[in-house]
Amino acid sequence: MARRLRAQGHPLRLLARPEEAEGLFRSECDDVVAGDFNDPHWMSQAFDGVDAAFMYAPAPSASAAVFAAARACSVQRIVMLSSASVVKAPPGPNPIAERHRIAEAAVKAAGFEFTFIRPDTMASNCLQWARSIREEGRVYTACPDSMRNPVHEDDLALLAALALESNVHIGRAYFVTGPQVLRVRDQLDIIAEQRGTAIGCICIEEEEAMTRSMQAQPGMSRLAAQRLLDYLKKSVTVRPDVSDEFLEATGRAPRPFVEWVRDHLNAFRSSTEVSDGTASPLMKRGVS
């Protein structure tokens, strides 16, 4: 997204964690501010002089203060990466849905021009399989037949950039998906085909699946892991929707999952495969 906006001549400031800020994205922006996304003091420095901001949802305890800081700095527009769980999650405690609901409500209450981007399943979630694919050639899951509609993060970046630039998207909440429904098994088959080697799909117990989720995403609560597992189980029999809202908003069809895999293929290949240029038969034939 930064590269897209930079190409259009927009001055940019990026917020980064202190340990990552030095030298980060210098070619894609005019300024990098080190700070804590959930700290209103740091965010005030990031917001100073900014007209429009792209953001993730802050922690629920920080949302009101963070967006109040943005308003105090005269930020006019917020484009936020939210979540389809805001509208899809069933009643009951759900940390993921609540975080995004609270953030959306805080944005509206502060009176910003806003656009909410609500992806269902992000293709980048598959990166949690990368280590076990590289090291073991297999993936462990409780629900191998769970269905997903994975969306490429570049599509989200395109929509966010357009929402920052154009008034057309003010007040919209876009439900964004990829163009196809795939089971976990199907996704692994696509990764395996592009990688050039088979990938095993190992069915595991639910408790182990939750433990693996929490290990893959430090900071994830047990309740959040349980809700993710509940969604995977539900999606074995309930086919997720495929949305046309990305096409409506951008005039472009969303990228297929195989394109995401090609863009991230090295994440699923061993260091030896990457260093010696080993490629799958498809890649050797020049398919890209």
Q: In the predicted model, is pLDDT for residue 42 greater than 90?
A: no
pLDDT in tens, 208-235: 999 988 988 888 889 889 988 998 999 9
Residue 112 and residue 67 in contact, taking contact as beta carbons nearer than 8 Å: yes
pLDDT band of residue 19 (cuts 50, 70, 90) is low
Q: In the predicted model, is pLDDT for residue 243 greater than 90?
A: yes
Q: In the predicted model, is pLDDT for residue 288 greater than 50?
A: no
Distances in Å between the Cα of 157 and the Cα atoms of 1, 15, 119, 161, 211 are 5, 16, 11, 6, 31
pLDDT band of residue 277 (cuts 50, 70, 90) is low
- Residues 101-110: what's their mean pLDDT? 95
pLDDT band of residue 51 (cuts 50, 70, 90) is very high
Q: How far apart are CA 132 and CA 138, in angstroms?
A: 6
Lowest mean pLDDT, pick from 26-40, 123-137, 142-156, 237-251: 26-40
pLDDT in tens, 188-202: 999 999 999 999 999
Residue 82 and residue 105 in contact, taking contact as beta carbons nearer than 8 Å: no
For position 284, what pLDDT does the model report? Answer: 30
List the one residue out of 173, 178, 174 whose CA is nearest residue 148.
178
Containing 185, the helix (H) or strand (E) segment is: helix 184-195
Q: How far apart are CA 46 and CA 36, in angstroms?
A: 10
List the one residue out of 257, 143, 147, 148 whose CA is nearest residue 202.
143
Q: How far apart are CA 39 and CA 44, in angstroms?
A: 9
Rounded to 10°, the helix 40-47/63-72 angle is: 30
Q: Where are the beta strands (DSSP E) in the chain?
A: 13-16, 31-34, 52-56, 77-81, 113-119, 121-122, 138-141, 147-148, 150-151, 172-176, 182-183, 200-203
DSSP, collapsed to helix, strand or coil, labels residue 7 as: helix
Please give the residue that has the higher pLDDT: either 179 or 44. 179
- Residues 71-88: what's their mean pLDDT? 95
For position 202, what pLDDT does the model report? Answer: 95
pTM of the model: 0.88
pLDDT in tens, 113-168: 999 999 999 999 999 999 999 999 999 999 999 999 999 999 999 999 999 999 99
The torsion angles phi and psi of 15, rounded to 5 degrees, stand at: -100, 135
